[in-house]
Chains A and B, each alone.
Chain A
Amino acid sequence: MSRSPLEAVDASSSEEYRKAWTALMALVDQGGSFSGHERNCAFLNIAGKRFANASAAAGFDLTDDARSIGLVDWNFDGKVDLWIANRTAPRLRLLINNGPAKNHFLAVHLRGKICNRDAIGARVELHLEGEPPLKLLRTLHAGNGFLSQSSKWLFFGLGPRQAIQKLVVRWPGCRMEEFQGLRADQHYLITQGDPRVEVSAAPAAAARLKPAELPPPEASEPRRIPLTLRMPMPSLRFRDFDGKPASRLFPAPRPLLVNFWASWCGACSKELKEFADQESLLRAGGIEILALSADGLSGDRSSAPAASQNFIRGLKFPFSGGFATPELMESLEILYSTILHDQRPFPVPMSFLVDSSGWITAVYRGTVTAEQLLSDARLCAALPLESAQKSLPFPGRWHELPLQPTVAGGNLGWVATAFELAGFKDEALLYWKGYLSYSDKVPRPAGAKEGAQWDQELARILSQETARILHQAGRTEEAIAALRQALRLKPDLSPARFNLASLLERMNHAGAALAEFRALFQDPLAGLAAMTRAAMLLAASPDPGIRNGEEAVQIAQRACQLSGYRDPESLDALAAAYAESGRFDEALITVQKALGLAASANPAALAGQIEERRRLYQSRQPFRMPAGSR
């Protein structure tokens, strides 16, 4: 591999770099520019020495975020014209070269017969007469620069010279050929093995394009953002106009528009008035509205909550309303800025159209008309694939539709992680649940291998994401259910089974825990730990119906053999098993061994616990585990 002289210096810097980069990109998502407004450069080659900066004089100094340049003689006048692909508008630019025709040119188009038909890689030498004679080189490329390909015409500027001695073509992998009788200021077609050169005439109606300065792109705000992949609405908790907590649950009988407004916002009041006026139409179209006031959220005193109340009452607003909570706004902001490259603050009004199962179908920044809502209600009813196609701005074809479960689900998982990192555990769970249920909405991946991978992915989410978050939230029974579900999909997911057994043990389901541990005895990775934990349960369970000293000794001995009597925990279990069987002398010898090993083991607390047990065995008492913490 490559040399890396400064690896040591740089080891920690990569993380720093990543964070700095993320921070810069966050600023970009908030509307900042990053090495933007730069002018493209044109450098004039002055006799092969120092170049002159002629960017402005050439008219090439556009402030586009330009990416790729395609060279072409668009109008067959022998002067190089340019197609440019930009990041900014216009995405595509045509620059026509209007230079005076004082210098001469030659253009050639090659056709391979023995070599590749396009003659890509051909080296062309143009020999010009004069004092001194001049040789110009070109190679025919297919793809160079950055993400770009130029015309296959090769252009030679001849300067004031007109006399062409010859053109030499080194066809790739083939014999060199010389062509003669070429005249300046022509376009020639040249075919491998054919000494005749063919003049290519310009098309009859030669290009007569008019120069015009393009207007600067309009800075337009997104208004309506239909989601190609619907997203679950975060927990819809708000306060009613009396200040009491309220919430909406899904599924609901019909789609819901969650609208955010403020009493000081003129556009908001107009919009709410339209909703009120169009009530019957909207209801007939199956739309329900929840208008939540953002008054008071910004800490701005001018937006008094009382004003909201008065406004809604004055309007006799026929739909429901209330006050938005900061948590609701923040959860929506997290969602929004995770699925779109847009981290700018929400405007008011702002609305979210939620389908009857609780999935957001469209977002509106600014006002939305009743007419649009009625049309989008139909989108709510469409199946995901159909509504995804309808949500795109243009028709087109996909090679890989990003709505396959793995991709689309990954997007939900992405948002789930964003929620979890921001401390929104319920939303994280909701999104993982959405990921899992997404597999019901779109076809399962075709093919046995893909199907199995998908099952594995679902099992991973259930065990590592859903169950983990539930466990952290103290929702152990639900965590157990998630793990069981994961194991139904992927029975050999031994970490999940081990975690399941541990949770069952904690919930005082010793029998069930034991059964799960037993199922892992043969597992190459989890077997040792499962045997150790099972032996300990059999030796020391508070439930006398579970305890079985003899079997505990057998299992613990297997565990110790497996670990070569070097694992303090299995030795500890063996000692407990001996004690339970009344073999206290063996218990003491074994526990001593365990203590010796535990001194250097992790966790440090282990040694202390074993020491306590040693004292019990000294006084010829078996160890009893405390009852699990429910």
Chain B
Amino acid sequence: MPKRGIAISLAVIGSAALLLLILWRFQGGTLPGTPSPGFEEAACSIMDLPALRLQPGGIRKILSEHLAKVDPLKDGWNTEHFSEAAKDQLKKLGHFLTRAGDSDPQAAAAVIAPGFSCEPLRPADVHEVFSDGAFAVFRADPRSSHPTPQLGGPHRGLAGLVDTLRSWCEGGGEGMAKIQPVQVDFKIFQVHESGPEVSTTVFVELSGAMDRGHFQKNATWHCLWKRPENDEPPRLEWIDVADYEEVVYRGPGGEAACSTLFADCTESALAKNPCFKEQILLGQSYWVRRLEAKLGIDVTGHSGLAVGDADGDGLDDVLLCQPGGLPNRLFLHQPDGTLIDASAAAGVDWLDHTRSALFVDLDNDGDQDLAIAFANLLLVMSNDGSGHFAKEAVLAAEGAHSLAAADYDQDGKLDLYVTCYPNLSPVPYHDANNGLPNLLYRNRGNWMFNEVTREKGLDQNNRRFSFAAAWEDYDNDGDLDLYVANDYGRNNLYRNDGGRFTDVAAAAGVEDIAAGMGVAWADFNHDGFMDLHVSNMFSTAGNRIAYQRRFKDSAPEQAKSIFQRHARGDSLFANLGDGTFADVSLEAAITMGRWAWDAKFADLNNDSWEDLLVANGYITNEDPGDL
């Protein structure tokens, strides 16, 4: 979007400048009583163009001072630097574990301090809490939070560490004995400094394949480190296991033997299309270096997908949205499960920067029409019944992102709601309300849509940075209410009362002041009311820019807690049935969805309980490190 917005912004600045009568300052004098910012300010007013945010190009020099801030070392930010060093140390343990058979205990020796001790890494009270023949889950009872470090655990010194590492690895629930982990990940998510010691809370995930299945062991460790001297790496003094869980999956075996629940069938489904190799197998980082930004492409890659039956053959097809300069792709589902690219023939190979799309029957004629969110408008296309689409309407929607259709007024025609996300700096960061309005378009029939946002009360709290929205009847009163996830601040729950809306997010307890990115509804606890999941941001880099640096010293406690809440991660709200919700995110243990975008409830194992899938990760480039 950044480049897309330039010309528009320039034009806006142009007329604004005329209105404000920006004049130059000459030695002869200026217009009395009129603002005369002079050359420098005039240049700044151009600099304020939001797109420059993503376009540092020629302003590199100006930014060098800020670039320095991003490096934790130059920043003088000790905890961040420490966390990097500690993670390197933990990775050595991971390395030791993944080569258990032939690993040299000395590798582990480099990680611990003299006098090291730890609790058993596989707690003694691990027991089965769930089993359905496919998945089995084992847990230890959670320890009381933040235990006081008590040096002198049962496993002491290098021998103790190696012993407990090995028995953690090899021990396990149902048939997991003698399993070799192939992957060990550590995520340090809290660092506390106190005197000569530093304590960290670390999320550990160890996993690997086993016969006809896969296992993983999830733990939360409290680690106590000896503060390093000079450039020495920090050394572990003590590990305690605060939380422990094992998950085992056993597949059906046989012909389609696959060690995990999901098998990647992308290649088999798509490879016969030339665009598979030429476009699908190339990521955004490839294209941003080849396609000019003004085509609409940016580094963030916010382009989604829609599943629907485009050609009316009873099989779901897939429309993949793509950034500016690359065509969207419509893949038609063949009876053998493979797909054929029909983008051009269907008339949907748009090169415009596309965010999202919906297959919906907008004229009730029995086929799936299309609503497509480009970065600055909505395009509505009709389907001729055989998967050929024609332009019907163009609706204004600056900053369009997610689409959600519903017949909010129950007149039998589907209406469209679009969330809009501006290319601006959020003000204020934690509760930004300088964004773009989301829009409700009422379907009047004959491909005519009226924008009724204000008329229907959806203009309340509607200048946010909105990534996503989903309709749901949360109060079981027979009409559809609307939840909107906003980045940089509070979200909206618009209650529908006879086709008019009121924002009741605060009263319902679902404001969820954080970096909202996605909305999902499901009755996850079988109580007859729809519960709410909100994807948020969990990110050390996000924390870094969001709050820790700025708020370290001077900010009031209230601001700190809001910023910390901002970085907590995903949220799950249990619908209490009385119009309010309870935040059960922590007890449900779903907060660590990382830098989350889409989240979906889906019953993966058909056990009647809806599970949760979270799509995450912001920007992965070739650099193996991370900011």
Contacts and interface: CB of A to CB of B under 8 A. Distances in A.
Given A44-B611, A89-B286, A337 B60 contact: yes
B621 A31 contact: yes
16 contacts: A5-B558, A35-B541, A38-B618, A65-B618, A91-B282, A120-B406, A145-B599, A217-B282, A228-B325, A339-B57, A340-B288, A399-B394, A418-B55, A421-B58, A495-B21, A569-B29
Nearest to B359: A149
Contacts of B404: 141-144
Given A10-B429, A35-B617, A68-B305, A91 B608 contact: no
Contacts of A80: 602-604
Contact of A87 (B336, B405, B539, B617): B617
B427 A20 contact: no
Closest 6 CB pairs of A and B: A207-B337, A59-B260, A147-B304, A173-B410, A418-B58, A410-B7
Contact of B598 (A29, A55, A67): A67
Interface in B58-77: 58-63, 66-67, 69-70
A584 B70 CA distance: 67
Interface in B336-394: 336-338, 343-344, 347, 349-352, 355-361, 364-366, 368, 374, 376-377, 379, 391, 394
B358 A143 contact: yes
A526 B309 CA distance: 62
A54 B611 CA distance: 10
A569 B34 CA distance: 13
B89 interface: no
A90 B130 contact: no
Interface string B189-206: 000000000000000010
Interface string A210-238: 11111001011010010111000000000
A583 interface: no
Interface string B289-312: 111111111111111111111000
Interface in B487-545: 489-490, 517-528, 530, 535, 539-542, 545
What bracket does the count of chain B residues touching chain A fall in?
A: 35 or more
Interface stretch (B40-48, B80-88, B102-110, B152-160): B40-48
Contact of A2 (B139, B262, B431, B618): B431
Interface in B139-170: 139
Interface string A47-61: 111111111111111
B583 interface: no
B290 to A, nearest CB: 5
Contacts of B47: 417, 421
Contact of A79 (B29, B525, B606): B606
Interface stretch (B118-126, B226-234, B585-593): B585-593
B627 A33 contact: yes
Interface in A396-453: 396-400, 402, 406-411, 413-415, 417-422, 424, 453
Contact of A54 (B247, B278, B410): B247
A21 B324 CA distance: 23
Given A48-B609, A214-B281, A70 B305 contact: yes
Contacts of A502: 24, 26, 28
B405 to A, nearest CB: 4
Interface string B601-626: 01111111111111111111111111
Contacts of A456: 14-15, 18
Given A17-B545, A398-B350, A569-B29, 19 more contacts: A4-B431, A25-B53, A46-B609, A50-B589, A54-B216, A71-B602, A82-B602, A86-B301, A91-B282, A94-B266, A116-B412, A148-B598, A150-B307, A212-B265, A214-B264, A393-B279, A456-B15, A464-B22, A570-B32
A532 B624 CA distance: 66
B556 interface: yes
Contact of A26 (B67, B250, B325, B401): B67
Interface stretch (A96-104, A311-319, A378-386): A96-104
Contact of B130 (A44, A74, A139, A410): A44
A56 B279 CA distance: 28
A70 B318 contact: yes
Contacts of A303: none
Contact of A529 (B30, B266, B286): B30
Contact of A142 (B132, B326, B327, B406): B406
Contacts of B134: 99-100, 102-103
Given A103-B607, A411-B6, A149 B461 contact: no
B49 to A, nearest CB: 8
B137 interface: yes
A117 to B, nearest CB: 4
Contacts of A284: none
A387 to B, nearest CB: 13
Nearest to B618: A35
B275 interface: yes
A69 B613 contact: yes
Interface string A1-23: 11111110111011111111111
Nearest to B282: A89
Interface residues of A, number: 219
A173 B350 CA distance: 35
A143 B403 contact: yes
A394 B352 CA distance: 13
Contact of B275 (A120, A209, A394): A394
Interface stretch (A129-137, A541-549, A614-622): A129-137
B209 to A, nearest CB: 10
A142 B414 contact: yes
B451 interface: no
A35 B619 contact: yes
B335 interface: yes
A51 B590 contact: yes
Contacts of A40: 613-617
A203 interface: yes
A84 interface: yes
Contact of A396 (B293, B327, B556): B327
A399 B352 contact: yes
A98 B252 CA distance: 8
A96 B338 CA distance: 12
B18 to A, nearest CB: 7
Contacts of B259: 59
A11 B431 CA distance: 12
A525 B604 contact: no
Given A2-B461, A139-B530, A411-B3, A91 B132 contact: no
A349 interface: no
A64 B280 CA distance: 13
B79 interface: no
B270 A67 contact: no
Nearest to B22: A495
A260 interface: no
A151 interface: yes
B249 to A, nearest CB: 4
A467 B40 CA distance: 14
A55 B613 CA distance: 9
A4 B463 CA distance: 13
A563 B301 CA distance: 56
Contacts of B10: 406, 410, 413, 457
Given A96-B265, A341-B289, A25 B56 contact: yes
Contacts of A244: none
A108 to B, nearest CB: 14
A120 B404 CA distance: 10
Contacts of B620: 33, 36-38, 63-65, 87-88
Contacts of B350: 396-399
A339 B527 CA distance: 54
B447 interface: no
Interface in A318-366: 334-343
Contact of A34 (B33, B266, B365, B627): B627
Contact of B523 (A20, A52, A136): A136
**Residue of A203, A211, A493 with highest tally of chain B CB at under 10 A:** A211
A418 to B, nearest CB: 3
